[in-house]
Amino acid sequence: MTNSKNILMTGGTGFIGRYLSQQLIKQGYHVTVLTRSGADISNSTEHLAFVNALADLQPRTWYGVINLAGEPLNKTRWSPAQKAQIISSRVAVTQALNAWLRGLSTPPEVFISGSAVGWYGHWDDECLDEDSPSRAGFSNALCAAWETAAMAQADLTGRLCIVRLGIVLGNDGGSLPAMLLPAKLGLGGPMGDGRQWWSWIHLEDVVRSIKMLLENPQATGVFNLTAPYPVTQIEFARTLGRHLHRPAVLPLPGFMAKLMLGEFAEEVLLKGQRVRPKKLLDSGFTFNHPDLPRALRDLL
């Protein structure tokens, strides 16, 4: 590792991006974050810089680009306008990066672009890997549009990696903090029938796997970023309850979840996919937190 390895990151002020940029800096990378918030520019340091537009970037050789930008899925109810914004926030940034890459005299060695396991659509108990087909639905449409925009960069970079993220567990963002209060009150029972699969991953393993993709010259294509052992939602609830020493028995009926959260509940919480990280495992990646009890023990 040399300090000449410059990384451009979108989504660098988000839940995953904040932790990822910190860890990359510790490894000797220089990280530049493309952000919409002008206030972040004043926080620039020697190894971490913020810019509001691609036109503001200083000429340099870029080792890699990490594209994680996107409107949070749970920001508000999914009206037609909000669903269009969720898609546009991902696709538009990726397309802007495409145009920027075409203007570089030296292309980056690697481009890593975000996606999610929602690409596969809704399944029952089938075990899915990177070669599995997809099923139609909003999650699939969202991820397919994002990945298609990224695929346009295949001839603009040395390597293109697309990371399909599962439910990312961490203490400072994502889904886990929102689950803790009801779980501590004994309200963390099954959602719907609880049989839907949740493919999850510890934040630390997300960062470690992205770093591996940055530095492995053979890594290319689609990678599922999920732990090797997904669980059903009811198993997740019971495991969380055991770690909090609380019962997980009071259910959240499916109709109530839809009433409170609208289509987000139907698309994300009440249905799911049983996803396996086949390509990560085949590449030799070792998870620090492969199973849910171990992950929650570390986080809680």
Structure tokens at 210: 């992205």
Average pLDDT score over residue span 154-172: 93
61 located within any domain: yes
For residues 80 and 86, what is the distance between their CA atoms, to the nearest angstrom?
10
Residue 2 in this model has a pLDDT that exceeds 60: no
Domain with 213, as residue range(s), is 6-299
CATH number of domain containing 76: 3.40.50.720
1 located within any domain: no
Measuring CA to CA, how many Å separate 217 from each of 188, 209, 213, 290? Answer: 43, 14, 8, 25
The owner of tokens 């990371």 is 163
14 located within any domain: yes
* 62-67 sheet: strands from edge to edge: 48-51, 30-34, 6-10, 62-67, 110-116, 159-165, 221-225
**pLDDT given for residue 12 in this prediction:** 93
Structure tokens at 144: 């397919």
For residues 158 and 63, what is the distance between their CA atoms, to the nearest angstrom?
10
How long a stretch of residues is the chain?
300
What is the per-residue pLDDT across 49-92, written as a single tens digit (0 to 9) for each? 999 999 999 888 999 999 999 988 878 888 899 999 999 999 99
What is the per-residue pLDDT across 170-204, written as a single tens digit (0 to 9) for each? 998 888 888 888 888 877 778 888 999 999 999 99
Q: DSSP letter string over the chain?
A: --TT-EEEEESTTSHHHHHHHHHHHHTT-EEEEE-S-GGGGGG--SSEEEESSGGGPPS--EEEEEE-----TTSS---HHHHHHHHHHHHHHHHHHHHHHHT-SS--SEEEEEEEGGGG--BSS-EE-TT-----SHHHHHHHHHHHHHHTTTTTSSEEEEEEE-EEE-SSSBSHHHHHHHHHTT----BTTS-SEE-EEEHHHHHHHHHHHHH-TT--EEEEES-SS-EEHHHHHHHHHHHHT------B-HHHHHHHHTHHIIIIIS-B-EE--HHHHHTT---SS-SHHHHHHHH-
Average pLDDT score over residue span 22-39: 88
Task: Give me the chain's average pLDDT, please.
Answer: 90
How many separate domains does the chain show? 1
Grade residue 3 by pLDDT with cuts at 50, 70 and 90.
very low
Note the pTM of the prediction, 2 decimals. 0.93
Average pLDDT score over residue span 127-140: 96
**pLDDT given for residue 215 in this prediction:** 95
Grade residue 4 by pLDDT with cuts at 50, 70 and 90.
low
What is the per-residue pLDDT across 238-294, written as a single tens digit (0 to 9) for each? 999 999 988 877 776 676 766 666 777 777 778 899 999 999 999 999 999 999 999
Average pLDDT score over residue span 24-47: 81
For residues 25 and 175, what is the distance between their CA atoms, to the nearest angstrom?
26
Grade residue 42 by pLDDT with cuts at 50, 70 and 90.
low
